[in-house]
Chain A
Amino acid sequence: LNSKKKKKIGIKTIWIPVVVALLIWSKLPYVSNPILYIILGGAGGYYIMERGLRKAIREKTEDERRSEK
């Protein structure tokens, strides 16, 4: 719980540590591999950030077009 506070995990992302912890603990083949979640976490974080940035740029461009009109 202290780590949760330190890592600034909010209501939208709280499910991630819960799912990761349970899947690693389950010891099921493939899905219990911690390396998988490190790679997925890094790639997923990058994808979400990139998508958010693209969306912000698109919205800004549309706003500029509207103001020009």
Chain B
Amino acid sequence: MIYLKLIWGYLRIGLFGFGGGYAMLALIERIIVGNGWITETMFTDIVAISQMTPGPIGINSATYIGYVAPGVSSPSFSAPIWGILGSILCTLVVVVPSYILTLYMSHLIQRHRDSTIVKGIFSGLRPVVVGMIASAALLLMNEANFGSQTQEIVASVLICIGAFAGVYWLKIHPILIIILSGIAGFLIY
């Protein structure tokens, strides 16, 4: 039963995950945390792991959740083999729909580049994708990332504002910002 739930969950992510990794975050969070497969803190950890490992966040989270969820749902599925099966299923289910859609869409866009339908749909999707990316940022501003004590929250907000200003206004490379934020975090905590 857990495998069917995982397939249905990741099929929706694969089909409606427009706008790339960060736009998918809200959808992923809703499905995997909403179903009780993992906690909010674990979700934040997955986002961090997915950023540190190569590959898109959707696929990385599918592999991770597919491995963890069967064991969480029932102790009889705690053996690694069930986790590997879940990983393979989730990864396939999240990749295959978008692969087919992209293949079909590229063909469709080539043929109907000036079509009203295609132009209209994309012009409507653009602001929604920006909103979904913004909602991912809001979702990650949680207790797990910003802490629960006033001192922690203040330090986290200052690092967040500094990172934003560095990337957006000062045009510093994001990798350098990550390193500097890590050093700031080490010095503060």
Interface on A for B, CB 8 Å cutoff?
1-4, 7-9, 13-14, 16-22, 24-25, 32-35, 37-38, 40-50, 53
Contacts and interface: CB of A to CB of B under 8 A. Distances in A.
Contacts of B30: 32-34
Most chain A beta carbons < 10 A, residue from B12, B119, B124, B129: B124
Contact of A40 (B123, B128, B130): B128
A21 B138 contact: yes
B127 A41 contact: yes
A8 B123 CA distance: 9
B124 A9 contact: no
A31 to B, nearest CB: 12
Nearest to B128: A41
A22 B71 CA distance: 34
Most chain A beta carbons < 10 A, residue from B121, B122, B127: B127
Interface in B106-122: 116-117, 119-122
A13 B139 contact: no
Contacts of A38: 16, 18, 125, 128
A7 B127 contact: yes
Nearest to A18: B131
Interface residues on B, range: 20 to 34
Given A7-B129, A45-B121, A49-B120, A34 B138 contact: no
Interface of B: 12, 16, 18, 26-27, 30, 116-117, 119-135, 137-139, 168
A14 to B, nearest CB: 8
B123 A49 contact: yes
B128 A16 contact: yes
* Pairs A-B, 9 closest by C-beta atoms: A45-B124, A20-B131, A49-B120, A41-B128, A17-B131, A21-B134, A16-B127, A24-B135, A46-B120
A34 B26 contact: yes
Given A38-B16, A50-B120, A20 B127 contact: yes
B117 A21 contact: no
A7 B18 CA distance: 13
A30 to B, nearest CB: 12
